[in-house]
Amino acid sequence: MELYNIGIIGGGPAGYTAAFAAAKQGKKVILFEKDFLGGVCLNKGCIPTKTILHSSELYKKALNGMDFGVNAQGISIDYKKVTERKNFVIERLRKGLELAFKNLKITVVNSEAKILSKNEIEARGEVYNCEKIICAVGSSPRVVKGLEFDHEFLLSSDDILELKKLPRSIVIVGSGAIGTEWARIFNNFGVETTVVELASNILPLADVEVSKRLERIFKSEGIKFYTSTTIDKIENKNLFLSNGEILSPELVLVGVGRKPNEVEKIEGVEYIGDVSGEIQLAHFAIKQAYDVIENIDFRKDLTPSVVYGSPEIAWVGKREQDLAGEEYKKSMLLVSSLGKAQCDGETEGFIKLLTQEDKIVGAHIVSSEASALIQQILIAMQFGISAEQLKEVCFPHPTYSEGIFESLFRLK
C-alpha cells in the first residue's frame, strides 16, 4: 500500500498552501477535494465577490465621469457579462492552481474523503496511509432560524453569486464583511438596498468610529439600514421587523457569516482554516498552513481585517473600545487632507492610530487603498517599531500612505 508523507483534505487556501509548502520540502503529498480546487475563497467567496464588486465600481464611476471631465453616453449594465467575467477570473486562477499541483507532483483525488484515524483517509472505497493528516474542509453559510435558505427568495452568500439578473430591491441580513460588500455592490448597480443588523452598529466587529463612518457613508449613498433590529417573521415575502417596519424586497440575502463544516475531531490530525473554528479569513488560513508545515509562527492577534468597496475599510490590533480605562494616545487624520485623495476624488474616510508607550497597538483605516495601507502599519506593529522610529521613514508624495506619516505627528 502506497504511503504518503502528508494527506490533506480540502483544497482551499489552507489546504493548497500546506500542499505546496510540503511538496517543496520534497514530501510526498496527496490532497482530496470533492468540489473545485481553490475552496470557498476562489470559487464562492473572496475572488468572485471582488470581481463583481469591481464591475459595480466601474459602472458607478462611469456614471459620475462628468465630474472628472469624462463624458460618456448610454451607460448601462449587462449583468450577464459581469457574471461571465467573474467565471472567467475564477477559471483562470483555478487553472493556475491545477498547474501548480501538477508541477509539484502532488496527487489530487477529486472525491469526498473521510478520516479514519490519524494516519488513514478513506476515499472512493480506498484507504490511503499518511504519516500526517491535515483537515482543511472549510465552512458553509450560517443558517439563522426563521431565515432558512430556500435558494429562491432567501439566498445564501453562495446563491447570490449565481444570480442571472439584478433584482429591483434586496434586503441584506447582517452587516459584516459579506453584508457590507454586497450592499455596496447592489447599491452601485442601482438596486434598492436595505441592511438589517442585529447589533447596535453596522460592521459591529470594527472600531466604533469606523462603524459610525460607514453608517454615514451608507446614508450618503442611499443604502437604508436598521440596527438593533431582527426579522420577526416572513409572510408572503413580506419581512416584519422587530422595530415595526414591514419590507417587501424582491430578494433577501442572509449574510450573517459562515460556520465551520462539521467533522469528527481525531487526535493527532491538524485542523486548519475555517474548520479550525478560529479566524475565518483566507490569509489567516494560509499562515496556519505555513505554521504547520514550516513552523513559521505568527501573531494571531495581528491578523488584519479588510472590507472591500469604496472606500476600503481595514483594521488591525486593538479597537478604541478595547482600551477603555487604559492610557493611550490617538490620532485621527481625515483622508480629505491628502493631495492624492483630492486628485482621485476619493476623499471619504480617515486614518486612525492608537498607541501605548509609543508603540502602535491598533490601526483603523477608511480610505482608498486601505488594504495596502494597513500592511505598512502591521509590519511596524509586528516588529515593535515605535511611532518615533516610524517618523524616520520617508513616505512618497502624493500618496495615501503619507497619511500614515502625518498621523504619527498627531498622536495625543
Same structural domain, 264 and 395: no
CATH code (residue 376) = 3.30.390.30
Rounded alpha-carbon distances, angstroms, from residue 196 to 181, 218, 229: 14, 13, 6
Same structural domain, 309 and 289: no
∠ CA(215), CA(366), CA(288), 5° rounding? 110
Phi, psi (degrees; rounded to nearest 5) at 344: -85, -15
| Count of structural domains within the chain | 3
Q: Are strands 126-135 and 270-271 parallel, antiparallel or unpaired?
A: parallel
What integer pLDDT is reported at residue 1 of this predicted model?
66
The answer to whether 224 touches 172, Cβ cutoff 8 Å, is no
What would you report as the CA-atom Rg of the chain, rounded to the nearest whole angstrom? Answer: 23
Beta-bridged to residue 352, according to DSSP, are: 332, 364
Same structural domain, 106 and 123: yes
Same structural domain, 192 and 126: no
Rounded alpha-carbon distances, angstroms, from residue 184 to 72, 88, 95: 23, 22, 29
What integer pLDDT is reported at residue 73 of this predicted model?
87
Same structural domain, 127 and 269: yes
Single-letter residue type at 196 = V
CB neighbours of residue 65 within 10 Å: 13
Same structural domain, 73 and 187: no
Same structural domain, 54 and 185: no
What integer pLDDT is reported at residue 72 of this predicted model?
84
What integer pLDDT is reported at residue 2 of this predicted model?
84
Same structural domain, 131 and 7: yes
What integer pLDDT is reported at residue 83 of this predicted model?
97
Task: Give me the chain's average pLDDT, please.
Answer: 97
pLDDT above 80 for 281: yes
Same structural domain, 307 and 182: no
The answer to whether 117 touches 135, Cβ cutoff 8 Å, is no
Helix 46-63 to helix 177-188 angle (10° resolution) is: 30
Q: What is the C-alpha separation between 14 and 182, in angstroms, rounded? A: 25
CATH code (residue 207) = 3.50.50.60
- Residue 56, all three cell numbers: 459595480
Taking residues 304-312, report their average pLDDT.
Answer: 98
Domain limits at 171?
143-256
Same structural domain, 330 and 392: yes
Taking residues 88-108, report their average pLDDT.
Answer: 97
Same structural domain, 131 and 9: yes
Q: What is the C-alpha separation between 210 and 405, in angstroms, rounded? A: 20
Q: 294, 319, 344 — which closes off a domain?
A: 294
- Assessment of whether the complete model's pTM goes beyond 0.75: yes
Phi, psi (degrees; rounded to nearest 5) at 189: -80, 0
pLDDT above 90 for 368: yes
Q: Is the dihedral of CA 44, 46, 47, 48 positive or negative?
A: positive
Phi, psi (degrees; rounded to nearest 5) at 371: -65, -30
> Could you read off the pLDDT of 224-275 as tens digits, one per residue?
999 999 999 999 999 999 999 999 999 999 999 999 999 999 999 999 999 9
Same structural domain, 111 and 21: yes
Taking residues 294-315, report their average pLDDT.
Answer: 96
